[in-house]
Amino acid sequence: MAETLLETAGLTKRFGGLVATGEVSLSVAPGEIHAVIGPNGAGKTTLIGQLSGELIPDSGSIRFAGADISRLGPARRAALGIARSFQITSIFREFTTLDNVALAIQARAGHSFRFWRAARQDASLRDPAFAALGVVGLAGRADLPAGSLAHGEKRALELAMALATGPRLLLLDEPMAGMGPEESASMVRLLAGLKGRFSIVLVEHDMDAVFALADRITVMVYGRVIASAEPAAIRADPEVRRAYLGEEGG
């Protein structure tokens, strides 16, 4: 296996005159949690968009598990093992919580040109979906409409869906967004429990969460990487403190 699972080189995306990401190069090792932080507008979500395939970079390349995936669409990348959660919760609101995860299981279970057997009675979808709900603590919510879940539960459901696709790399775009302190803490525990089993690119504003979880932190400002190092080194970096951490008050 390659030393790095994900590697970007010179990733650049412009929107008109605005350079959303400029020459972003980073690498993620297997099992590593790689946090990407930076002020609003730093290009973090644009970076996630390019990694997931929703955005195609103007220049630069993305290698995943040794293959160039720069030009692949999002469905292909998901099939290769890149799963994501969205900054704004993205679930199937009308479906039950279990249905949501069962669809994620179905996504990795080969093609869906299957017209005969009832999917809701299919144990090969339902059982692993139920197990994935258990991992994120939503087993008791399995039969509720996903739209009726509390905010933190919806975030956890999104994570369960991402996990259910059997990924090698998770792209988490602000998983703690809008969460109260308790919900945040339980999400941190959840992610800490996943550590080592998946590679994670974590975009997050919650600095306590980032420093609790990350093996490596990349700091972006105005679309550019100004530092990429271990948490302790980032904390001590004067340029980072000036550009970002200082503004947050610590």
Partner 1 sequence: MGGRCGAIFVALAALALVPAVATVAEAPFYIGLFARIMVFAIAALSLDLILGYGGLVSFGHAAYFGIGAYAVGILSYYGVNDGIAHFATAFIAAAIAALFIGFVSLRTSGVYFIMITLAFGQMVYFVGIGLNEYGGDDGLNIARHSNFGAALDFDRPVVFYYFTYALLLLFLFLGGRIVRSRFGMLLQGVKSNERRMIALGFPTFRYKLAAFVMAGAVCGIAGALFANLTLFVSPSIMHWTRSGEIMMMVILGGLGSLVGPVFGAAVYLILESVLSRLTEHWQAVLGPLLILVVLFSKTGLYGIFAVSRRRSG
Q: Which residues form the interface with partner 1 (CB under 8 A)? A: 52, 54, 73-76, 78-79, 83-84, 86, 90-96, 99, 102-104, 106-108, 112-122, 125, 143, 161, 165
C-beta closer to partner 1: residue 26 or 105: 105
Q: Are 97 and 142 in contact (CB under 8 A)?
A: yes
Please give the helix or strand (H or E) that residue 36 lies within, else none: strand 33-37
C-beta closer to partner 1: residue 24 or 146: 146
C-beta closer to partner 1: residue 202 or 243: 202
Q: In the bound complex, what is the minimum distance in angstroms from residue 49's beta carbon to partner 1?
A: 11
Q: Give the integer Cα–Cα distance in Å for 160 and 136.
A: 6
Instruction: Look up residue 207 and give its two tokens.
Output: 């600095």
Q: Give the integer Cα–Cα distance in Å for 120 and 123.
A: 8
Q: In the bound complex, what is the minimum distance in angstroms from residue 5's beta carbon to partner 1?
A: 18
Label residue 139 exposed, middle or buried (CB < 10 Å: 0-12, 13-18, 19+): middle
C-beta closer to partner 1: residue 94 or 230: 94
Residues 208/188/87/15 CA torsion (nearest 10 deg): 50
Q: In the bound complex, what is the minimum distance in angstroms from residue 6's beta carbon to partner 1?
A: 17
**CA 40 → CA 215, 219, 222, distances in Å?**
22, 12, 9
Angle at 179 between CA 53 and CA 26, to 5 degrees: 35
The alpha helices in 123-204, defined as continuous H runs, are 123-135, 151-164, 181-194
C-beta closer to partner 1: residue 78 or 210: 78
Q: In the bound complex, what is the minimum distance in angstroms from residue 89's beta carbon to partner 1?
A: 10
Q: Give the integer Cα–Cα distance in Å for 15 and 57.
A: 11
Residue 166: count other Cβ atoms within 10 Å of its Cβ.
16
C-beta closer to partner 1: residue 38 or 81: 81
Q: In the bound complex, what is the minimum distance in angstroms from residue 166's beta carbon to partner 1?
A: 10
C-beta closer to partner 1: residue 153 or 237: 153
Residue in the structure block whose two tokens are 């609003």: 40
Q: In the bound complex, what is the minimum distance in angstroms from residue 96's beta carbon to partner 1?
A: 8
Q: In the bound complex, what is the minimum distance in angstroms from residue 243's beta carbon to partner 1?
A: 31
